[in-house]
Amino acid sequence: MKFLSTRGQMQPKTFSDVLLDGLGPDGGLVVPEQVPTISAEQREAWRSLSYAELAAQVIGHYATDIPEADLATLTAAAYSPEAFPTPGTVPLTPLSEQVTLVGLSEGPTLAFKDLAMQFLGQVIPYVLARSGGTLNILGATSGDTGSAAEHAFRGKPGLSVFMLSPLGRMSDVQRAQMYSIDDDNVHNLAVDGVFDDCQNLVKAISNDAAFKADHRIGAVNSINFGRISAQIVYYFWAWLRATDAVPAEERAAATVTFAIPSGNFGNIYSGHLARRMGLPIAKLILATNENNVLDEFFRTGIYTPRSRELTHATSSPSMDISKASNLERFVWDVLGPEEFVTRWTRLETEGTLDLSDHLPRFAAEFGFVSGTSTHADRVATIRSCFEASGTVVDPHTADALAVLPAYLEPGVPTLVLETAKPEKFSVTVAEALGEQSPATPAHILALLELEQHVVEIANDAEQLKAYVAEHALLTPAGAQA
């Protein structure tokens, strides 16, 4: 398996190469040269596997340069009971006869990002060890990526993490999970701006080829395909668990619908790849909050990223994003390599991408539908979900639950991807449930009391470069750069 850049100016590379690079050298996002197809027979052979074993199989179709035995060892370490103590790693909880919650937040930072980041925390050191090099990971977070990355890489030799977060735009627990880490190889930088500013800074540094090479800069945002490959796994896992009770002769055609809270489009893009791999997915329901640029795109075919001034601070802050990086990968799939370059250049010069001529294909060919949720919707949904099922969900998951009723189909199970535990967003949960709100766990209270370590910086690439240059790890003489 080789990987290309959406911008078309990168020679095909292996999984290990793109794992360390993040973005392509031409500024594009990495995509597989071809998407592997998984037959119904292969899916059935995976039904009895543990989550770690399934991860090795799914990721192995992309990471073909890593020996199978090594990959199995890496996934076993990533999805160990120590990191994911809940039996089965990703539990499925029925909310109603038709709707099931897919529990993606059983890891160390209580968010779905752990499922991909714990894998990166194993595979990146493995790849580095083969070269003897170092890597300085530069990332941006709207709330959960940062803590998941820092917990996965803290204390790892040969690695440093520089994580950008939007100043004052995360929940108290999200900040505490990141800023309380005091390992020498973790650097928290709060940017005076919104998440999109943080993401733009990461891309600006990554696009400076000389600086990136000199300082061994890599990325762990969802622009890194290693994360995408690990996220594909739970789509297969959820389908396998949801169809366990289906008669064996009917399983091959047993379709499900997924509802996914979406900010940077990485999570749902992983579902898109799972569907292209042959997983029987009827619909991919994309749910946004008030920052509904993606909903506008999938309803109209027109994509117009918004400025920081027009990006709302909401009660589902991890989705406060107005420029979704991973959408580039989907547009590349829709248009093909040649037409993509022409259209995407127009977006960068004019600020708008018009794919209304392809709009019918979004649902008919790719299964995408979408909707927008508001704060009032989130509060009402958290309350109604608890009253109906006894399950408390976080505001982002509530966005997906709020949007999905318009797309429910008789006889088609709907799987809602949980993105975080509700205790990370206790203020909104308390607003929804009042006296019925669960008490804040003792470990969260203790976390909030810890000393926090963060450096505030301006939204300025040169200031960021100066900080990285001062604190970056250097590759030892004689090692492979």
What's the N-to-C CA distance of the chain in angstroms?
Answer: 23
| Residue whose pair of structure tokens reads 């490959």 in the numeric block | 229
CA 469 from centre of chain: 28
Strand ranges of the sheet holding 256-261, from the earlier edge strand across to the other edge: 92-94, 99-102, 414-417, 256-261, 281-288, 368-372
Cα dihedral sign for 141, 145, 147, 149? negative
User: What residues are annotated to the active site?
Assistant: 113
The answer to whether 260 touches 400, Cβ cutoff 8 Å, is yes
| Residue whose pair of structure tokens reads 């505030």 in the numeric block | 456
Separation between Cα atoms, residue 302 and residue 307, nearest integer Å: 16
DSSP annotation of 437: S
Length of the chain: 481
Separation between Cα atoms, residue 278 and residue 47, nearest integer Å: 15
User: Reduced to 3 states, what is the DSSP secondary structure of residue 1?
Assistant: coil
Separation between Cα atoms, residue 2 and residue 160, nearest integer Å: 27
Q: Which two tokens stand for residue 437?
A: 């709100």
Point out which residues pair with 455 in neighbouring strands: 189
Separation between Cα atoms, residue 52 and residue 42, nearest integer Å: 17
Q: Which two tokens stand for residue 225?
A: 């395909």
Angle between helices 51-60 and 68-78 (to 10 degrees): 140
